[in-house]
Amino acid sequence: MKVVPLIISGGSGKRLWPLSRENYPKQFLKFDSEHSLLQDTLLRIKNIKGTISPVIICNDNHRFLVAEQFRKLNYIKPHIILESKSNNTATAIALATSYIKRNFGEVLVLVLSSDHLIPDRERFKVLIESAIDNIDKEKLFLFAVKPESPNTGYGYIKTNEMKGNQNFLKVTKFIEKPSISVAKKIFKENNIFWNSGIFLYSTTFFYNEMRLYANEYIDFAEKLIDEGYKDLDFFRLPADIAYPEALPIDKALIERSKKIYALKFNNSWSDIGTWKSLFDSKTKDANFNAIKGNVISLESSNSLIHSNSNHLIATIGVDNLIIVNTDDVTFISSIDKINKLEDMLKLIGSNDKEKLLNNRKVYRPWGWYDSLDKETGFHIKRIHVFPGERLSLQSHAKRSEHWIVVRGKAEATVDDCLHILKENDSIDINVGSIHSLKNLSKKNPLELVEVQTGDYFGEDDIIRYDDIYGRSDNK
pLDDT tens string 329-375? 899 999 989 888 888 888 988 887 777 767 788 888 899 999 999 99
**55 has a pLDDT exceeding 90:** yes
pLDDT at res. 285: 93
Q: What are the domain boundaries of the chain?
A: 3-270, 283-351, 361-466
Backbone φ and ψ of 343, nearest 5°: -65, -40
**436 has a pLDDT exceeding 90:** yes
In angstroms, how far is the first alpha carbon of the chain from the final one? 41
HSE-CB for 449 with a 13 A CA cutoff: 12
As a whole number, mean pLDDT of residues 301-315 equals: 92
pLDDT tens for each residue of 260-298: 999 888 777 888 877 888 888 788 999 999 999 999 999
Q: Where are the alpha helices (DSSP H) in 177-322?
A: 180-186, 203-213, 215-227, 249, 275-281
Spell out the residues 6+ positions from residue 337 whose beta carbon is closer than 8 angstroms to its own: none
CATH topology of domain 361-466: Jelly Rolls (2.60.120)
Question: Are 272 and 113 within 8 A, CB to CB?
Answer: no
pLDDT at res. 13: 47
As a whole number, mean pLDDT of residues 37-66 equals: 91
pLDDT tens for each residue of 19-34: 877 677 888 888 777 8
- More confident: 191 or 401: 401
Report the amino acid identity of residue 457. F
Q: Which string of b and e fits 341-364 if b means at least 16 CB within 10 Å?
A: beeeeeebeeeeeebbebbebebb
* CATH code for the structural domain at 3-270: 3.90.550.10
As a whole number, mean pLDDT of residues 40-53 equals: 92
pLDDT above 70: percentage of residues in the chain = 96
In the predicted model, what is the mean pLDDT of the chain? 90
473: confidence class by pLDDT, cuts 50, 70, 90: low
Question: Are 105 and 18 within 8 A, CB to CB?
Answer: no
**238 has a pLDDT exceeding 80:** yes
105: confidence class by pLDDT, cuts 50, 70, 90: very high
pLDDT at res. 166: 61
What's the order of all strands across the beta sheet hosting 410-414?
Answer: 417-421, 410-414, 435-439, 393-395, 463-466
SS3 (DSSP) at 44: helix
160: confidence class by pLDDT, cuts 50, 70, 90: confident
Residue 215: count other Cβ atoms within 10 Å of its Cβ. Answer: 11
pLDDT at res. 475: 58
**163 has a pLDDT exceeding 70:** no
pTM of the model: 0.86
**Among the listed residues 429, 450, 456, the one whose alpha carbon sits nearest the alpha carbon of residue 381:** 450
- More confident: 31 or 433: 433
pLDDT at res. 110: 97
pLDDT at res. 115: 87
C-alpha 291/C-alpha 310 separation (Å) is 14
pLDDT at res. 429: 97
C-alpha 381/C-alpha 363 separation (Å) is 13
As a whole number, mean pLDDT of residues 368-388 equals: 94
**465 has a pLDDT exceeding 50:** yes
pLDDT at res. 12: 46
pLDDT at res. 388: 93
